[in-house]
Structure 1
Amino acid sequence: MIGFVAAGLLLLLLCTAQADDGGDGQVLTIADYIGDWGYPSPYGHYSRGPGYVRMSLIFDTLVWKDEKGIIPALAESWEMEGDDAYTFKLREDVLWHDGERFAADDVVFTIDYIKEHPYIWVSSDIIKTAEAVDDYTVRISLNQPYAPFLELVAGTLPILPEHIYEGVDDPAEFREDSALVGTGPFQLVDYDQSQGSYLYQAFDDYYLGSPKVKQLKFVKVNLEMSAAALEKGDVNAANVPPEVVENLKDEGFTVMLSSHDSITKIMVNHKKEPLSDSRFRQALYYAIDRQALVDNAARGYGVLASPGLFAVDNHWYNSDVEPYDYDPAKTEELMEELGYSKVDGYFSVDGSPVKLEMLVTSINERAGELIRQQLEDAGFMISLRTVDSKTLDSMVTEWKFDLALNSHGGMGADPEILKRMTGDGYTFNSARYTENSELNELLDGEVAEIDEQKREDLIDRIQVIHAQELPVLPLYYADTYWAHDGRVEMYYTRQGIANGVPLALNKQIFVS
Structure 2
Amino acid sequence: MSRLPILGLAAAGLLLLIICSSPSGATDTVDVLTIADSTGDWGFPSPYAHYSRGPGYVRMSLIFDTLVWKDENGFVPALAESWEYLADEKAYLFHLRSGVTWNDGEPFTAKDVAFTYQYIKDHPYQWVDSSVVENAEATDDRTVKITLQRDYAPFLDQVAGTLPIMPEHIYQDVSDPASFKDPKALTGTGPFKLVNYDKTQGTYLYEAYDGYYQGAPRVKQIKFVKVNSEMAAAALKKGDVDAASVPGETVEDVKKEGFTVVEGSHDWVAKIMINHMKAPFSDPKFRQALYYAIDRQDLVDTGLRGFGLAGSPGLYASDNPWYNPDQEQYNYDPARAGQLLEELGYEKKEGSKYYTKISKPEAIELLVTASTERQGELIKKQLDDAGISVNLRSVDSKTLDSMVGGWQFDLALSGHGGLGGDPAILNKVVLDQQSFNSARYDEDSKLNDLLESQVEEMDPAKRKELVDSAQEVIAQDLPALPLYYTDSYWASNNIVSYYYTYGGVGSGVPIALNKMIFV
TM-score, normalization by structure 2: 0.93
3-state DSSP of counterpart to 2:393: strand
**CA distance 1:24–1:102, change in 2 (3 Å):** closer
Q: Which moved more, 1:435-444 or 1:418-427?
A: 418-427
In 1, Cα distance between equivalents of 2:82 and 2:250: 44
3-state DSSP of counterpart to 2:107: coil
In 2, Cα distance between equivalents of 1:381 and 1:246: 40
Q: Is residue 59 from structure 1 mapped to residue 64 from structure 2 by the alignment?
A: yes
1:438 is matched with which residue?
446
Map residues 150-299 of structure 1 onto 2, 5 A cutoff.
150-299=156-305
What does the per-residue CA deviation read over 1:289-328, in whole Å, with 9 as the maximum and x for residues that have no partner?
1111001111111111110111111010111011101101
In 1, Cα distance between equivalents of 2:442 and 2:30: 49
Map residues 386-405 of structure 1 onto 2, 5 A cutoff.
386-405=394-413
1:85 is matched with which residue?
91
Deviation at 1:406, TM superposition (A): 0.4
In 2, Cα distance between equivalents of 1:347 and 1:482: 44
In 2, Cα distance between equivalents of 1:456 and 1:322: 18
In 2, Cα distance between equivalents of 1:487 and 1:250: 17
Aligned 8 A contact 1:24 1:487 in 2: no
In 2, Cα distance between equivalents of 1:165 and 1:407: 33
Match of 1:500 among 484, 487, 508: 508
TM-score, normalization by structure 1: 0.94
What does the per-residue CA deviation read over 1:62-88, in whole Å, with 9 as the maximum and x for residues that have no partner?
000000001110011101001621000
What does the per-residue CA deviation read over 1:452-504, in whole Å, with 9 as the maximum and x for residues that have no partner?
00000000001100110000001100111110011011100001000000011
Map residues 414-429 of structure 1 onto 2, 5 A cutoff.
414-429=422-437
Residue identity opposite 2:132 in structure 1: I
2:374 is matched with which residue?
366
3-state DSSP of counterpart to 1:107: helix
In 2, Cα distance between equivalents of 1:438 and 1:315: 23
In 2, Cα distance between equivalents of 1:171 and 1:462: 35
Q: Is residue 26 from structure 1 mapped to residue 34 from structure 2 by the alignment?
A: no
In 1, Cα distance between equivalents of 2:377 and 2:490: 27
In 1, Cα distance between equivalents of 2:298 and 2:422: 30
What does the per-residue CA deviation read over 1:342-384, in whole Å, with 9 as the maximum and x for residues that have no partner?
1201111143423210100000000001101111111111111
3-state DSSP of counterpart to 1:172: coil
Aligned 8 A contact 1:420 1:426 in 2: no
Provide the aligned length of Structure 1 versus Structure 2.
489
Residue identity opposite 1:422 in structure 2: V
Deviation at 1:24, TM superposition (A): 4.6
**CA distance 1:210–1:24, change in 2 (3 Å):** closer
In structure 2, runs of 5+ residues without a counterpart are 1-27
Deviation at 1:257, TM superposition (A): 1.3
Deviation at 1:426, TM superposition (A): 4.0
Match of 2:147 among 137, 141, 152: 141
In structure 1, runs of 5+ residues without a counterpart are 1-22
Aligned 8 A contact 2:262 2:489 in 1: yes
Flag the structure with higher helix content: 1
What does the per-residue CA deviation read over 1:233-276, in whole Å, with 9 as the maximum and x for residues that have no partner?
11110001111100111111001111001101000000100100
Structure 1 residue ranges (4+ consecutive) displaced by more than 4 angstroms after TM superposition: none
3-state DSSP of counterpart to 1:31: strand
1:326 is matched with which residue?
332
Match of 1:452 among 457, 460, 483: 460
In 2, Cα distance between equivalents of 1:350 and 1:195: 48
Deviation at 1:168, TM superposition (A): 0.9
1:473 is matched with which residue?
481
**CA distance 1:448–1:160, change in 2 (3 Å):** same
1:116 is matched with which residue?
122
Aligned identity (percent) is: 62
2:109 is matched with which residue?
103
1:463 is matched with which residue?
471
In 2, Cα distance between equivalents of 1:244 and 1:442: 42
